Structure 1
Amino acid sequence: MADVVQYRLEKTLIELEDLERKGIFSRAELAEIVKKRRKFEYSLKRPSPLKQDYLTFIDYEKHLHQLRCLRARSIARELKESGTKKRLKKSVSDDAGILRILGIFRLAVMRFKGDIDLWFRYLEFCREHGHGRMKKV
């Protein structure tokens, strides 16, 4: 169980390094993010995870993605106001949050196949973010 959790956390390392390099999150904030994600991952890997475990993880990731977007816009605005022609380039961390949320939703709907409310939340999230996965779902 610990190996799976560690593997999933290690997959986010590139994204976290990118967020620090861009100045969106500090090292202390990233450590807190990893700590929270580890807690959520362990709750999903227990013998019988609850639907609420998945939903709280999804909510956390949604809020984290919104915060990342706000901070990225703020940094872009500061760069624009300072008069430099430098812009934030699109990178790994821009799409990683959405893809992680979609992955958690996929795990949740596979675990709770008959839960129509969960399926509608999944579809609504795909529609809101214009992700092509809605066709696949």
Structure 2
Amino acid sequence: MADVVQLRLERMAEELEDLSKQGLFSRAELDSIVRNRREFEFCLKRPSPLKSDILAYIDYEQNLDLLRQLRRRTILGQMKRNRKWKKSISDWAKVKRILGVFKMGTLRFKGDLELRFKGDLEV
């Protein structure tokens, strides 16, 4: 189980490096993000993950993305108005991660309408 979690965390390395390079998060904040994601991944990889764990992970990732967007707007406000933010891997990785967690949740809890509707409305 720990090997699977470690592999998933290693796949996030490029995204985290991109967030650091863009100046959106500090090294300490990235360490905190990795710690939180590790805890969520372990919760999802246990023999019977709870629906509350899945929903908490999705909420965490959505809130993290909102923070990323706010910081990006702040940086763009400080830059010249005519410059555009170049799309990078961190822009797409969050969508892939949230959809993956939703897919795992809907496969695990097939008849759960709350999880299904949350996925339809927020992703």
Q: TM-score range by the shorter chain?
A: over 0.9
Select the structure of larger CA radius of gyration: 1
2:118 corresponds to which of 118, 121, 137: 121
Give 1:88 shift.
2.6
Q: Which runs of 5+ in 1 are unaligned?
A: 127-137
Q: Where does residue 135 of structure 1 map in the other structure?
A: none
Write the deviation string for residues 46-91 of structure 1: whole angstroms up to 9, x where unpaired: 111110010000010010000000001111111126xxx6543111
When the two chains are superposed, the root-mean-square deviation of aligned CA atoms in Å is 1.2
Q: Where does residue 50 of structure 2 map in the other structure?
A: 50
Asked which structure has the greater RCO (Cα within 8 Å, sep 6+), the reply is 2
Q: Where does residue 41 of structure 2 map in the other structure?
A: 41
Distance in 2, matches of 1:80 and 1:28, equals 28
What amino acid maps onto 2:15 in structure 1?
E
Q: Which runs of 5+ in 2 are unaligned?
A: none
| Structure 1 position 102 matched with structure 2 position 99 | yes
Distance in 2, matches of 1:113 and 1:42, equals 21
Write the deviation string for residues 12-44 of structure 1: whole angstroms up to 9, x where unpaired: 111100000000000110000000000000011
Runs of 4+ residues deviating >6 angstroms = none
Q: Where does residue 9 of structure 2 map in the other structure?
A: 9
